[in-house]
């Protein structure tokens, strides 16, 4: 690939991500008007350079007008994704509909709308959109993932795995494909194939969050499905080594240490989990999770310091966390008001993400 082509592709990706369709139209209009002005100057001066400049401006202006609906459609899809994260699914569907009206072959809009339809229970429409996305981009991983999830909903796990394999052949570093395949193999009770998929991810994917999730899933398979505590501990320890600032790895390892009878090791991991900074996956519940970690540690140590940290974290959860977690914190604080509680430390449930 030439440097000019690489630069132009990077420019186009940046334009699609940062500009709206209206702004592209404005840029196109300015370029065309500028081209007309330069043409007039070129006719007066008979300058070949000005003719080249006018030609370049005209090409840029026409290109901006051609790209305008594509840029706007991708902006609408991006907005739909954000609305979906907030749970505003029907509003998000309206944005994808507008994107498809602008550009009928925008694959990402069908992928997002498929997930949105599934979210509101309209599975037939979700399947239609997933199929249409694959027809538009037969080898695109995102389209294959959309259809694989639809297959999986209907119990067609083998067909879903085949779809994911097409995406992985196209992009060997596609982390979501490996993780989704591993979950499907677990449903088929083919645990070794699930572990193999996660091991392949470790070989091809460099992103630490994806590798961290793969080690957590590996540990879960060993712990829950194969009942191999030692290998589960190894997997969780490898996850912790990759991202020592994340809470979930310590929490899972602490639970396993407790099962194995290593109370001191478990108490240490609960402390590390409690001291981890909030992660984006813990939005609106980080104080509650920290409180749970201190509560788990207090159940092992019965130390007054852990009790105090537990109570402080619950009080912070009441002030800062989302309503479901704040209510749980309020209930726990009322229970803790019982003066006899310290003699019988409770064991709160840790809600894993």
In tens, the pLDDT along 307-327 reads: 999 999 999 999 999 999 999
- With cut-offs at 50, 70 and 90, classify the pLDDT of residue 7: very low
* Residue 162 pLDDT greater than 80, yes or no: yes
- Tell me if 82 sits within 8 A of 49, measured CB to CB: no
CA dihedral 163→167→173→178, nearest 10 degrees, is: -10
Fold of 173-245: 1.25.40
CATH top-level class of 105-171? mainly alpha
* Residue 85 pLDDT greater than 90, yes or no: no
Angle ∠(209,233,311) on CA atoms, nearest 5: 75
- With cut-offs at 50, 70 and 90, classify the pLDDT of residue 184: very high
Mean pLDDT of 58-82: 66
Distance from C-alpha of 186 to C-alpha of 241, rounded to nearest angstrom: 25
Distance from C-alpha of 64 to C-alpha of 27, rounded to nearest angstrom: 7
Tens digit of each residue's pLDDT (9 = 90 or more) over 8-26:
445 445 544 455 445 544 4
* pLDDT score at 138: 94
CA dihedral 60→61→62→67, nearest 10 degrees, is: 80
Question: Which residues are CB-neighbours of 3 under 8 A, at least 6 positions away?
Answer: none
Least confident of 10-19, 72-81, 188-197, 237-246: 10-19
- Higher pLDDT, residue 43 or 123: 123
Least confident of 30-44, 175-189, 302-316: 30-44
**Most confidently predicted of 42-46, 84-88, 268-272, 302-306:** 268-272
Percentage of the chain lying above the pLDDT 90 cut = 66
* Residue 80 pLDDT greater than 60, yes or no: yes
Distance from C-alpha of 101 to C-alpha of 185, rounded to nearest angstrom: 38
Where along the chain do the CATH 1.25.40.10 domains lie? 105-171, 173-245
- Tell me if 285 sits within 8 A of 321, measured CB to CB: yes
Tens digit of each residue's pLDDT (9 = 90 or more) over 258-308:
999 999 999 999 999 999 999 998 989 999 999 999 999 999 999 999 999
Mean pLDDT of 129-148: 95
């Amino acid at each position: 690939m030439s440097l000019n082509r690489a630069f132009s592709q990077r420019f186009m990706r940046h334009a699609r991500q940062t500009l709206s369709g209206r702004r592209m139209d404005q840029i196109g209009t300015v370029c065309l008007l500028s081209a007309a002005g330069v043409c007039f100057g070129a006719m007066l001066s008979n300058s070949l350079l000005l003719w080249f400049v006018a030609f370049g401006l005209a090409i840029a202006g026409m290109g901006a007008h051609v790209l305008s609906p594509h840029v706007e459609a991708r902006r609408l899809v991006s907005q739909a994704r954000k609305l979906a994260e907030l749970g505003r699914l029907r509003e998000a569907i309206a944005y994808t509909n507008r994107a498809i009206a602008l550009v009928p072959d925008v694959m990402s809009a069908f992928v997002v709308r498929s997930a949105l339809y599934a979210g509101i229970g309209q599975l037939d429409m979700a399947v239609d959109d997933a199929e249409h996305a694959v027809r538009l981009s037969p080898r695109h991983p995102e389209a294959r993932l959309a259809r694989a999830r639809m297959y999986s909903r209907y119990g067609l796990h083998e067909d879903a795995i085949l779809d994911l394999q097409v995406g992985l052949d196209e992009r060997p570093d596609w982390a979501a494909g490996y993780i989704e395949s591993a979950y499907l193999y677990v449903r088929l009770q083919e645990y070794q194939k699930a572990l193999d998929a996660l091991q392949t991810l470790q070989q091809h994917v460099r992103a630490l969050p994806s590798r961290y999730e793969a080690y957590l899933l590996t540990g879960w398979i060993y712990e829950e499905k194969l009942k191999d505590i030692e290998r589960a501990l190894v997997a969780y320890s490898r996850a912790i080594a990759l991202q020592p600032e994340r809470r979930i790895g310590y929490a899972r390892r602490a639970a396993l240490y407790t099962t194995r009878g290593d109370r001191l090791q478990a108490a240490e991991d609960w402390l590390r989990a409690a001291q981890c900074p909030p992660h984006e996956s813990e939005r609106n519940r980080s104080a509650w999770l920290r409180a749970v970690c201190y509560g788990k540690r207090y159940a092992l140590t019965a130390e007054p310091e852990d009790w105090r940290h537990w109570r402080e974290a619950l009080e912070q959860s009441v002030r800062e966390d989302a309503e479901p977690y704040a209510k749980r914190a309020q209930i726990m604080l009322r229970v803790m008001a019982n003066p006899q509680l310290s003699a019988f430390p409770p064991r709160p449930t840790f809600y894993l993400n």
